[in-house]
Structure 1
Amino acid sequence: MQENYPQKPGIDFILKQAFFYWNKTLVYQLVFSAVYFSIFIAAYFYIESRFGVYNQLSNAFLEYFKVGPKGAEVLNQKMETIKASANFTYATFGVLIASAFLYPLNLGFFQIFRKIDLNEPVEISDLFVGYNGLNFFRYTSYFVFWFLVFDMLKPTFVLPIFWIMITLFMAPLMFFQNKTIFEGISLNWKALKMFFIEILVCTIVAVLFKYIGFAIFLVGGLFTFPFWNAMIYSLYKTIFTEKV
């Protein structure tokens, strides 16, 4: 397959398309969030019961809030001590495993959105297509690679944002076109250079809408949390044209 880059689409068209896919799949958005948070929260409590790291971190911050700015030095020392511990390493690794396990759940939405385009019936099982066969190992290994790079770039602040932008389309490129990581990053970079404003604006909207449900409607966040996938698919479908 190869990709063609059509004339620049309007941002309003991309947004309307993303909200169309999201609105058509509200039931699946809820199922996604219920499965995702159930597993992640269960993993979180298990990790905390084993290593107690997050309780130590919260206690350190609570003490800092009581003392105020004068306690900044003590807080930094405690943070360094906690982060240097083996338990912190184990806890971080545990969260990474849980996140990697849940990542293929996102691929199910691309299957669902494509079925909507083709007027094919959608089933709950489509949401779990990312776990079929070798797909699971392919997508989880990609997520681990993505996270490790992101984690290394975090101290720079700007580079993590850049890393997110040049890997934005990796999931649909891997899912629909079987692209490797480096092929996908190359295509992401070309798309980013040509559609930077469109991608930037839509990414900001997706992030805001993704979490606004929790901030305003609380439970409504279960519907808005997976919206990110609809925006990525809308951008991917508009920017990339698949040809056999």
Structure 2
Amino acid sequence: MQNKYPQKPGIDFILKQAFFYWNKTLVFQLMFSIVYFAVFLTSLFFFASKYGIWDQQQELMNAFKISTEAYIKKAAELGATENSRYFSYAFLGTLVFLYPLNIGFFQIFRKIDLKEKIELSDLFLGYNGLNFFKYVGYFLFWILIYFMIAQTIILPFIWVLVTVFVAPLMFFDNRRSFEAISLNFKVLKSHFVEILVCVLVAFFFKYIGFAVFLIGGLFTFPFWNAMIYSLYKAVFSDKS
């Protein structure tokens, strides 16, 4: 595929396309969320029990009843324990393991464009062969940077904008992660408003299902992937 930078796409068109792909794949959106949260919650409860996190939470609650200072002191004390570190590693590992599940949507959306039959196996494409290690390696790098800057207000959001196209560039153009970040940065400078607005809409819609419709969040949670694909198509002109 070759990339060129066309005229700035209309935000309304990008949004319509994103909701079109999302609406066409509601069954897969639901399946994604069920698999994602089943694995995530199972892992969370397993490792929380294994490393005594529930007991630590009870200690924190008891400290909170005494005073805020006692709570802060206890939290710092427990956070420095070996079990807390192991639980943090397990939590991070679970998030990294689940990331390739997002990649399958790029295959699904492309098949919609090509009018090809969508199969259940498409959703798990990111776990096939070396693909798994490629995407897991990238997301491990991404999330470590994110956690390092998480205490700032603006830097995490900037990091999201700078990397929003990395996954599709790796998937469709077989770009390396750092090369994809460089291309993403160039595009961000020329399409900043469009990318900013779409990212904000995607973030809001991604979680509104849980806030308003509760179980509806299972359908809206993966919406982010539809927005990324729509943005990618609008910003990058793909030619085989």
Which of the five TM-score ranges fits, normalised by the shorter chain?
over 0.9
Residue 231 of structure 1 corresponds to which residue in structure 2? 227
State the Cα distance separating 1:53 from its structure 2 match: 2.6
Which runs of 4 or more aligned residues in structure 1 lie more than 3 Å from their structure 2 counterparts after TM superposition? 61-64
Q: Which amino acid aligns with 1:42?
A: T
1:3 equivalenced with 2:32 (yes/no): no
In the superposition, relative to structure 1, how do residues 59 and 233 fare at CA in structure 2: closer, same or farther (>3 Å)?
farther
1:206 equivalenced with 2:218 (yes/no): no
The root-mean-square deviation of aligned C-alpha atoms, in Å, is 1.6
- TM-score, normalised relative to structure 2: 0.95
Residue 150 of structure 2 corresponds to which residue in structure 1? 154
> Among 151, 161, 168, which residue is 2:164 paired with?
168
Q: Where do 5+ consecutive residues of structure 1 fail to align?
A: none
- Residues of 2 paired with 1:62 and 1:40: CA distance? 28
- TM-score, normalised relative to structure 1: 0.93
**For the Cα contact (< 8 Å) 2:63–2:70, is it kept in 1?**
no
Residue 46 of structure 1 corresponds to which residue in structure 2? 46
**For the Cα contact (< 8 Å) 2:206–2:217, is it kept in 1?**
yes
- Residues of 1 paired with 2:170 and 2:108: CA distance? 16
**For the Cα contact (< 8 Å) 1:48–1:55, is it kept in 2?**
no
Instruction: String of CA shifts for 1:140-163, please: whole Å, max 9, x gaps.
Output: 111111111111112223211111
> Among 108, 127, 132, which residue is 1:131 paired with?
127
In the superposition, relative to structure 1, how do residues 58 and 33 fare at CA in structure 2: closer, same or farther (>3 Å)?
farther
Residue 73 of structure 1 corresponds to which residue in structure 2? 69
Q: Which amino acid aligns with 1:217?
A: F
Residue 121 of structure 1 corresponds to which residue in structure 2? 117
- Residues of 1 paired with 2:186 and 2:91: CA distance? 33
Q: Which amino acid aligns with 2:148?
A: M
Identity %: 59
In the superposition, relative to structure 1, how do residues 33 and 160 fare at CA in structure 2: closer, same or farther (>3 Å)?
same
State the Cα distance separating 1:73 from its structure 2 match: 2.3
State the Cα distance separating 1:15 from its structure 2 match: 0.6
State the Cα distance separating 1:136 from its structure 2 match: 0.6
Residue 12 of structure 2 corresponds to which residue in structure 1? 12
**For the Cα contact (< 8 Å) 1:53–1:82, is it kept in 2?**
no
Equivalent pairs, count: 240
1:140 equivalenced with 2:139 (yes/no): no
In the superposition, relative to structure 1, how do residues 196 and 47 fare at CA in structure 2: closer, same or farther (>3 Å)?
same
Instruction: String of CA shifts for 1:120-155, please: whole Å, max 9, x gaps.
Output: 110111001111110011111111111111111122
Residue 29 of structure 1 corresponds to which residue in structure 2? 29
In the superposition, relative to structure 1, how do residues 77 and 198 fare at CA in structure 2: closer, same or farther (>3 Å)?
same
- Residues of 2 paired with 1:39 and 1:63: CA distance? 32
Q: Which amino acid aligns with 1:153?
A: I
Q: Where do 5+ consecutive residues of structure 2 fail to align?
A: none
In the superposition, relative to structure 1, how do residues 62 and 162 fare at CA in structure 2: closer, same or farther (>3 Å)?
farther
State the Cα distance separating 1:72 from its structure 2 match: 3.0
Instruction: String of CA shifts for 1:164-212, please: whole Å, max 9, x gaps.
Output: 1111111111111111111111111011111111111111111111111
